[in-house]
């Protein structure tokens, strides 16, 4: 693929992953989701209209916002009340996203550094445009001659999302009450059989943030990115069945695959970040260098 065509494909990926900010997106019609006056999400209009059936939990839309009722004045009360509504909506099969119910809770707060105001089922977060956090681990090797190669995973064909696509050696969502580093070590062990003694050496290097719209739902996400240099003799093994195979590839091949529509989209963003940080993409030779960097750090 010619360099300009490659650059255009990557730019398209970044625009797609930040579609919420583009003209004509559902953003203009979304309502702010607020708890005690603090915004924690974006509710699409078709979701807001259903929530009016639960006046003990959600206030009617007012001033461009839907709020949790003030009587729900604690983490536990809010979490329980919203969960009861979600369980009802799940039974009614109103939303495709709730068919992927995982019994995994995510924290809900205005910013990552704020105390959580409640927790919510992972599969429901896109109905409320609540920001989801996760970890992505770039597993790579460095040869004696200085050549960098990256371990990639092929997702299981039975995965709920992006089956059969290329992924990182390990990645996962940040569940409520679980630390970032613990999640890194756990995901490495579960997905790629990387022992804790190796996984603990993973270095936090960046975050990437983006907000996309899919089937009328809003997905604001922020990923904590780690680089993990793996021993040359180490080979990841399929662990919990979320992966079907691992590949060790030279960086020029990884770069080429980035524009081939074979990557899970947010993984492609994390790999792009790796390529930039490790100087496989340079500002003198990449005309969209600044657009790439900016596109990795959009936020609400």
Q: For 132-151, how does the pLDDT look when each residue is reduced to its tens digit (9 = 90+)? A: 999 999 999 999 999 999 99
pLDDT of 109 reads: 97
Angle between helix 3-17 and 265-277 (nearest 10) = 120
pLDDT of 299 reads: 54
Which residue(s) pair with 118 in the sheet?
108
Cα–Cα nearest to 66, from 90, 46, 47, 48: 48
pLDDT of 298 reads: 80
Query: In terms of C-beta density within 10 A (0-12 exposed, 13-18 middle, 19 or more buried), how is residue 174 classed?
Result: buried
Rounded Cα distance, 166 and 156, in Å: 10
Domain ranges of the chain: 3-21+134-295, 26-128
Asked whether the predicted pLDDT for residue 111 surpasses 90, the reply is yes
Q: What percent of the chain has a predicted confidence (pLDDT) above 70?
A: 99
pLDDT of 240 reads: 77
Cβ-contact 97, 124 below 8 angstroms: yes
Higher pLDDT, 72 or 102: 72
pLDDT of 52 reads: 94
Cα–Cα nearest to 296, from 62, 17, 70, 86: 17
Asked whether the predicted pLDDT for residue 108 surpasses 70, the reply is yes
Asked whether the predicted pLDDT for residue 172 surpasses 60, the reply is yes
Contacts of 56 (CB under 8 A, 6+ apart): 69, 71, 81
Strand, helix or coil for residue 287? coil
pLDDT of 161 reads: 82
Please state the CATH superfamily assignment of the domain spanning residues 3-21+134-295 in this structure. Answer: Nucleoside Triphosphate Pyrophosphohydrolase (3.90.79.10)
Query: Residue 21 — very low, low, confident or very high, per pLDDT cuts 50/70/90?
Result: confident
Which residue(s) pair with 137 in the sheet?
170, 226
pTM of the model: 0.93
For the segment 47-60, the average pLDDT, to the nearest whole number, is: 95
Q: Report the 10 Å Cβ neighbour count for 154.
A: 17
- Lowest-pLDDT choice from 12-21, 81-90, 233-242: 233-242
Copy the structure tokens of residue 19: 């579609």
Give the domain 26-128 fold: Transcription Regulator spoIIAA (3.30.750)
State the average pLDDT for the chain. 94
Q: Report the 10 Å Cβ neighbour count for 245.
A: 11
Asked whether the predicted pLDDT for residue 294 surpasses 90, the reply is yes
pLDDT of 160 reads: 77
Query: Residue 99 — very low, low, confident or very high, per pLDDT cuts 50/70/90?
Result: confident
- Quick one: CA dihedral 140, 261, 220, 295, positive or negative? positive
Copy the structure tokens of residue 93: 């099969």
Copy the structure tokens of residue 49: 């209209």
The dihedrals phi and psi of 242, each to the nearest 5 degrees, come to -80, -10
Asked whether the predicted pLDDT for residue 300 surpasses 60, the reply is no
Query: Residue 1 — very low, low, confident or very high, per pLDDT cuts 50/70/90?
Result: very low
Distances (CA, A) of 60 to 26, 34, 54, 268: 20, 12, 9, 39
Asked whether the predicted pLDDT for residue 13 surpasses 70, the reply is yes
pLDDT of 2 reads: 47
Rounded Cα distance, 282 and 286, in Å: 6
Distances (CA, A) of 110 to 28, 33, 54, 129: 20, 10, 23, 12
């Amino acid at each position: 693929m010619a360099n300009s065509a490659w650059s255009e494909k990557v730019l398209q990926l970044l625009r797609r992953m930040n579609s919420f900010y583009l003209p004509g997106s559902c953003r203009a019609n979304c309502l702010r989701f607020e708890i005690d006056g603090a915004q924690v999400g974006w509710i699409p209009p078709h979701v807001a209209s259903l929530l009016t059936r639960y006046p003990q939990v959600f206030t009617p839309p007012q001033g461009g916002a839907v709020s949790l009722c003030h009587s729900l004045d604690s983490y536990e009360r809010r979490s329980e009340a919203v969960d009861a509504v979600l369980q009802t909506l799940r039974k009614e099969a109103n939303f495709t996203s709730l068919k992927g119910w995982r019994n995994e809770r995510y924290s809900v707060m205005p910013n990552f550094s704020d105390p959580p105001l409640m927790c919510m089922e992972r599969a429901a977060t896109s109905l409320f445009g609540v920001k989801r956090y996760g970890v992505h681990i770039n597993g790579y090797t460095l040869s004696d001659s200085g050549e960098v190669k990256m371990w990639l995973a092929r997702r299981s064909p039975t995965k709920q999302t992006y089956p059969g696509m290329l992924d990182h050696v390990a990645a996962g969502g940040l569940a409520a009450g679980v630390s970032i580093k613990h999640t890194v070590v756990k995901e490495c062990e579960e997905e790629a059989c990387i022992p804790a003694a190796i996984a603990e050496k993973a270095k936090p290097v960046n975050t990437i943030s983006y907000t996309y719209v899919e089937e009328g739902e809003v997905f604001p996400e922020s990923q904590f990115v780690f680089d993990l240099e793996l021993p040359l003799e180490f080979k990841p093994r399929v662990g919990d069945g979320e992966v079907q195979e691992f590949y060790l590839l030279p960086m020029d091949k990884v770069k080429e695959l980035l524009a081939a529509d074979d990557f899970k989209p947010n993984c492609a963003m994390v790999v792009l970040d790796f390529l930039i940080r490790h100087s496989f993409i340079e500002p003198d030779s990449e005309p969209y260098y600044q657009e790439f960097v900016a596109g990795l750090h959009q936020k609400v």
